[in-house]
Amino acid sequence: MASRKLAIAILTVLAAVSVCALPGRICAAPPVLKDVAGHWAEGAITSLAKMGVLEGYPDQTFQPENLITRAELAKVVARAFGYAPTMDTKFCDMDGHWAEPFVSALDAAKVVTGYPDSTFRPDTNVTRAEMTAMLARVAQLGDMGATDAQAWTPSFRDVDASHWAFRFVEIARRLDTIPLHFGMVFEPERAATRAETAFMVKALSDAQFARGTVTQVSAMSETITLKNVAGSTQVVQVGADTLLYRNGVASTLDSVRSNDSVYVVGTSYGSARFIKAEGVVTKEDITRKVSALTHGVITPDQVDAISRGKWDEARAGMSPALTQRLMDMGLTETEVGAVLSQQWSLLPDLAQKRLAQALSEELGVSSDLIAAVMARDWQAARSYAELEAAQVLLSKFLKM
């Protein structure tokens, strides 16, 4: 088994090395693909073919409307973005498959994911949704919008915030990597064609990326000046359509600090669409994070008011939204009024249990802990919290 894998690895590496690099070897230009002239994706197909990323068929056709499999897409992505082939895949159906080195490389880079049964299903046609997810991870934007994408405005009629690939589709749309002919519908479960693949891969390869350390932030000019990894100064314009996150939370330009490390992804024509900043955690980071956990029902300003004990100040603005949210959890309007006035004792036992259970499911903590907090039994709350922390640590330990 080891020798077979070694042989495959050697052949893969050799295949990746152009014979044009051999001394004295004269290579012909890539063959002209006979069926792409005038096609809407001709430019992308031709460019990727010249780069050796895409290949045609023996009859010198590309057949742009043919569908593409998950294995074929893995090969294209690995070649286009320079992922070195490896032989350490964890998928049970990839052993010995021709695309194993490419899938393994993308798996190691956390670009691809498999199915719950530990399979990759390499010969299944890849969907448009799956392709956007893979390319978002290539751009290192796989976590973008993980907590707040529900607030994004859908660009397509058939992909809203309830769809698993919503944020990946929106990332692709913001980077202008989606073909224009899709129009107002994305058809996420539709199998992607070779032409669509070529267009989206080429568009992402043309995107602009920057990484560095912030040296200056200008609110007046709405720019971030950074020293990039090459040591050069670079100015990034933060526009109205730029999504900026600091320490993993949606933020604004004024939250960025000098010496923050930043990662910028922009369109091919230089418009910054995503900025990820990391730095010293501030009070604003915390209030934004707590607000995000409530899905925006409680704003950062209201979180700040609560932290200062200004309940009346916070309640004035959040009551309507919070009322609806609590009613969606199953409480009556009277019960919601008791909650907002912090008069827990006015809640009947059944309502208290229902609220504790609803909040437990929403926040991912035990209903006993919620009930203790509602009753202001801080000693009990502390005990329950310590117990939950111990359970989390134990579960992680057992999975090591």
Say which amino acid occupies 45.
Answer: I
Strands 272-278 and 223-228: unpaired
154 to each of 5, 150, 161, 167, how far by Cα in Å? 45, 9, 7, 9
Say which amino acid occupies 128.
Answer: R
Closest C-alpha to 315, from 306, 326, 307, 324: 306
Helical H segments across 178-310, by residue range: 194-205, 283-293, 300-307
d(CA 187, CA 158): 7
Query: From the CA atom positions of the chain, what is the Rg in Å?
Result: 26
* pLDDT score of 24: 38
Measured from the Cβ of residue 179, the count of other Cβ atoms closer than 10 Å reads 17
* pLDDT score of 4: 42
Q: Residue 323: in which H helix or E strand, if any?
A: helix 311-328
In which residue are the tokens 């607030």 written? 151
DSSP-based three-state secondary structure for 167: helix
* pLDDT score of 270: 82
Residues 244-256 have pLDDT tens digits of: 998 888 888 989 9
Longest dimension (CA), the chain: 89
d(CA 147, CA 123): 33
CB distance 52 to 79 below 8 Å: yes
Higher pLDDT pick, 379 / 267: 267
d(CA 331, CA 350): 10
d(CA 159, CA 134): 17
Compute the average pLDDT of residues 88-109: 93
> 30: which 2 tokens?
């890539």
Query: Which of 14-28, 66-80, 227-241, 292-306 is predicted with the least confidence, judged by mean pLDDT?
Result: 14-28
Residues 181-212 have pLDDT tens digits of: 999 999 999 999 999 999 999 999 999 999 99
d(CA 298, CA 316): 11
Whole-number percent of the chain with pLDDT over 90: 53
Compute the average pLDDT of residues 378-382: 65
Closest C-alpha to 171, from 196, 198, 146, 206: 146
Residue 362, pLDDT above cutoff 50: yes
269: pLDDT confidence band, cut at 50, 70 and 90?
confident
Residue 10, pLDDT above cutoff 50: no
* pLDDT score of 90: 87
* Residue 211: partners with Cβ closer than 8 Å, 6 or more residues away: 228, 229, 261, 262, 263, 264
Residue 393, pLDDT above cutoff 80: no
Whole-number percent of the chain with pLDDT over 70: 65
Phi and psi at residue 176, to the nearest 5°: 60, 40
Average pLDDT, the chain: 81
Q: What is the dihedral of CA 46, 48, 53, 55, to 10 degrees?
A: -10
d(CA 60, CA 206): 26
* pLDDT score of 291: 63
CB distance 144 to 243 below 8 Å: yes
Closest C-alpha to 192, from 178, 176, 206, 175: 178
Residues 18-27 have pLDDT tens digits of: 334 333 333 4
d(CA 294, CA 197): 37
